[in-house]
Amino acid sequence: MMRLQTSTSLIAFIFTAACGSGGTERSRIQGSNFGGGAISGENNVAPESGEASVGGHLFTLKEAQDLSPLVMDYKESSTKAQVATQDATQNARRDFIGETLDAMMALEPHRPGRDFTITVTADPTPNASALNQSVVVNRGIIDFASNLSLAMVLCHEVAHSTRNHSSRAEAQMNDYENKNKTKSDTLDSTLSKLVAANYDKTKKIFSHKKEDYIKVKPVWDDFWNGFVAFQKRFESEADVVGGRICANSGFTADEVEEGFTSLFEKFGGGTVAKSIDDKEYPDIELADIGELLHKIYASDSHPTDAERAEQMERIKPAFKQGATKTIAERWKKSFPGKSGLTLLPYHLTSGQVRIHHQSPLDSVMIRRTQSRIGE
């Protein structure tokens, strides 16, 4: 059964390689001034290569409470961010987000902080992403979510950065590939044949044939199912760490939960499965086919919405409201352009919501696919 997944997590709890630094201004995170590597040791952090296999990809309450540090010493991944353009009409929002994240990162539990670059794009897709220290927020998610939910989305994205998910993902990816060379090579050669048979380089038309995809699917799954387990663990971790960062910043556990779950309830719904029809993709560059294949095969990189909601309930006691409530109070009262916490009655179809479902892991795989496909 072929499935086309158009939105895993609508709310874009996604860290993507498609975020960038172009057209952005630097948001100074004061917390980084503490520097000096005050954080030493990681309590209860599973070994890099074994994270996914220890207790599955979800967190117990104890794991959520014990996870430390919330903010690691910064380590950049080699994945390069693509350029995302700042929407000049959104500068006030961008600055407010930047100031808020500055204040959050300056809190003691968040040492050594982060130096974020914030970009608010004109993209109407409700999405946000973080790669290394670059946070990209689409205008769509700001317009779309309540400001409470938006705070949680940002905390989640920030957590991807503070836990160095981009660089850790790369390390895990390499480790996994090294241990699964045969599967990896088989997948590469199978995909190369698929593309070679269906891509007209001159006309730049990719004719996608359902029966071909069905044949390749088991090979794809054989490699990817083991691989996405890491990614799911990172997503769970970002929910845990993001929730704790928001709580430290003055949001109550109820607000953290509400911010997350209202997104799932309103806009989640998990995987949208569709059958694939034979179709031609005109004007497609060879380089884009890797991404297309990811969309078609859609190995779930996120836990299901139900898993995340259950986890949120389970780990709620880990969200202890910080003594300083000013950051949360200010956010709730004064986020520019937000009239309140009420969600707009959007009726989104999968066609309208085009989630850019791409993570650093995906991008590494895509690069790898590109480097071998048809070249």
Among the candidate windows 6-14, 133-141, 169-177, 214-222, which touches Zn ion by CB under 5 A? 6-14
Residue 148 or 154: which CB sits closer to Zn ion?
154
**CA–CA distance, 30 with 102 (Å, rounded to integer):** 6
Pick the closer one to Zn ion by CB: 16 or 184. Answer: 16
Least Å distance between CB 157 and Zn ion?
Answer: 7
From residue 322, alpha-carbon distances to 143, 145, 254, 295, 361 in Å are 28, 24, 13, 40, 33
Q: What are phi and psi of 280, to 5 degrees?
A: -105, 140
Which is nearer to Zn ion, 107 or 169 (by Cβ)?
169
CB of 231 to Zn ion, least distance (A): 9
d(CA 260, CA 340): 16
Amino acid symbol at 277? D
Q: What angle do CA 217, 306, 235 make, to 5 degrees?
A: 70
10 burial (CB, 10 Å; 0-12 / 13-18 / 19+) is: buried
For Zn ion, which stretch binds (CB under 5 A), given 9-17, 97-105, 205-213, 309-317?
9-17
How far is the C-alpha of 134 from the C-alpha of 290, rounded, in Å?
24
Identity of the residue, 208 or 357, whose beta carbon is nearer to Zn ion in the bound complex = 357
Please work out the total of residues on this chain that contact Zn ion, with binding judged by CB under 5 A: 3
Among residues 5, 10, 12, 13, the one that binds Zn ion under rule CB under 5 A:
13
Q: Supply the minimum distance, in Å, between the C-beta of residue 191 and Zn ion.
A: 26
Pattern 228-267, Zn ion, x by CB under 5 A: -------x--x-----------------------------
In the complex, minimum distance from the CB of residue 354 to Zn ion, in angstroms, rounded to a whole number: 17
Q: Mark out the alpha helices in 2-146 (DSSP H runs).
A: 61-66, 91-106, 139-144
Q: Which stretch binds Zn ion (CB under 5 A): 7-15, 20-28, 34-42, 97-105?
A: 7-15
Q: Which is nearer to Zn ion, 302 or 332 (CB)?
A: 302
Shortest distance (Å) from residue 159 CB to Zn ion: 8
- Integer CA distances (angstroms), 137 to 75, 87, 104, 193, in order: 22, 10, 17, 37
- Tell me which stretch binds Zn ion (CB under 5 A): 11-19, 165-173, 213-221, 315-323: 11-19
Least distance from Zn ion to the Cβ atom of residue 270, Å: 15
Q: How far is the CB of 356 from Zn ion (least distance, A)?
A: 12
Pick 59 or 206: Cβ nearer Zn ion: 59
Task: Provide the 3-class DSSP secondary structure of residue 20.
Answer: coil
Residues 6+ apart with CB under 8 A from 129: 12, 14, 15, 16, 18, 19, 135, 136, 157, 356
Rg (CA), the chain: 20
Angstrom distance (rounded) from CA 283 to CA 286? 10
Smaller CB distance to Zn ion: residue 235 or 362? 235
Q: What is the closest distance, in whole angstroms, from the C-beta atom of residue 16 to Zn ion in the complex?
A: 9
CA atoms of 326 and 103, how far apart (whole Å): 10
Cβ distance to Zn ion smaller for residue 163 or 208: 163
Q: Which residues contact Zn ion (rule: CB under 5 A)?
A: 13, 235, 238
